[in-house]
Chain A
């Protein structure tokens, strides 16, 4: 897998800093299914096409298997002003977990 540096942006319909987006190569999604539980993310019940995890802090990560789109949903318990930081922390944790799978640029 080639080295890719994903970028974190506000996702569509992001209200009050709740929803954040980054995109991975679709192959990295498969790697994430193994890597995220090892990094402390709990798998959540979800359709096969849309695997979903909960971070140790209670944030959700949705992965779109067919396209590589990923969405971080920051927990509503985080004050609005701190949601970007919370999303960045989750993003960092996800990308670090995927580093062995080829995201070496991180």
Chain B
């Protein structure tokens, strides 16, 4: 897909990444599965699947239409070719589409969610509902894109899923005739209008250099013949920020409206998704041969590890994370002008009465824990048992988001203190 790589761009000073102007980040399967599970925990399986499907269809539709426009894919066969190549390139598996202007069907192989769920949990957990809402949303968006239909008219149902021990994944696509009201677009142009000045923090030169190297490295990474990206010891996806953000905030707002007493629980779960991300994605990257080759194995120095985590966040498109303050063993202040959550919230919902960077909050906490409580020189195994030993019960560190642009503050700030 030599045509796609040149369409990547970075918002300078903010380390937010875009493909044809559509925001994307990298997340691994551990985070992705936890994120989707959290939605189901907050909303129930049925509503959770609906929210995930709609967000995926909307985000994928934005991307397909933007790519179609830039690449001049104007005929249905050209659009079908683009759609079939895009998903595996991003590490989400392969999908074969058969569409008409009334719907159609799609068959998936190695679809990221179903495949990685089966790899991670398949032997010990029996799943009751299909796992591939994201691919369902992609299939629906692709059908609309190929057939030139208005956005939101196609619904997709996953009627077979490998996570349910079916032999493969299959989707039925159906045209409803009811287009969805379009929400404000969150793209590069909108983001540029929402971000302020950049920031500099401790160890800036090292962080910037590693982040640039990492960004170059991931540019060369794409799905293999299965459409799977196996790198850094995890299954990596190039994923749409608007999917993550819409699902999180729709879920949070739903809980705020319908069950406000449960809001603290839901917010804790979405923060934990950030913890999962740093523990699994960042942690596995730090122990990978790729990191050892590009940067060197972690020395075990907490400050170096915190600095490395900021570089990883920047390299993966999470935003321009900086170490604003660090008092060894006692306190860490993590800042960013914005993270990938903020532009979406401001554009879709406007100002908030409270901080809204759930991934950043969890990530900051996990960074402090990983920096101070993990013996990196002993090549630790980042197992579920180890995760539980660090983050269940009384965690040795506490995080609080003290500044947030969604509230009108000049930047994001999370203060992490030793208990």
Contacts and interface: CB of A to CB of B under 8 A. Distances in A.
B220 interface: yes
Nearest to A67: B292
Contacts of B220: 45-46
Q: Which of under 10, 10 to 19, 20 to 34, or 35 or more describes the interface residues of A?
A: 20 to 34
Contacts of B297: 67, 69
Given A47-B294, A49-B294, A66-B296, A13 B284 contact: yes
B287 A13 contact: yes
Interface string A11-22: 111111011000
Interface of A: 11-16, 18-19, 45-47, 49-50, 62, 64-67, 69-71, 73, 76
Contacts of A49: 293-294
A90 to B, nearest CB: 15
Contacts of A14: 233
B226 interface: yes
Interface of B: 119, 216-217, 220, 226, 228, 230, 232-234, 284, 287-290, 292-294, 296-297, 379, 381-382
Nearest to A10: B381
Contacts, number: 56
A50 B234 CA distance: 18
Given A47-B217, A62-B289, A71-B289, A12 B233 contact: yes
A12 B377 CA distance: 13
A69 B217 CA distance: 19
A12 B290 contact: no
B233 A13 contact: yes
A13 B119 contact: no
B219 to A, nearest CB: 11
Contacts of B284: 12-13
A50 B230 contact: no
B288 A12 contact: yes
